Amino acid sequence: MELALYVTASIALLALAGLFIYLTVLLSRIRPLIDTATRGVQDLVGEVQQTRAAVTGVVENLAGVTKQVEGTVARLNTQLENIEGIVVSASDISRDVTEVVDSAKQVVVSVLDLEQNIQRKVQAPVLETLNLLTALTKGLRAFRMRLAGGERSVAGELEG
């Protein structure tokens, strides 16, 4: 029995040695793969660090641009407020001009009404006066003609 135990132990040791040899061969084949993976991870870490540095620069530039945009927006808001004031002033001026034009229109209408009223009141007496003066002139001419000459010439003068 002891012999069986020695044989079994020897077989176990041989199997264990074979396992170690197999693992050594396996690890020697896997090692280049692990080295390649390690180099790939190191390259990836380097690229990530470069990208991080570039992104940090971009973020800093964006922060500066954002501050400039904020300043520009503030100036634009100020300009818009100024424009709003100008528009309100223009609206007030337009309303005032409209009122002046309406007042001027009413004055013109009043002047035209006054002119027509005066024309109606004055025209008839002026025409009567002119007719009276024309009649007096014809009468005086006829009288003068009669004194100077005769009835025939007076009839011609009154018709003319």
CA neighbours closer than 13 Å in the CB half-sphere of residue 34: 6
- pLDDT category at 155 given cuts 50, 70, 90 is low
- pLDDT category at 15 given cuts 50, 70, 90 is very high
pLDDT of residue 119: 83
| Site of tokens 């014809």 | 138
Confirm if 151 and 132 have CB atoms less than 8 A apart: no
Does 132 score more than 70 pLDDT?
yes
| pLDDT over 90, % of the chain | 30
pLDDT of residue 43: 92
Task: Provide the whole-model pTM.
Answer: 0.40
Report the domain count for the chain.
Answer: 1
pLDDT of residue 58: 86
Domain span holding position 109? 2-159
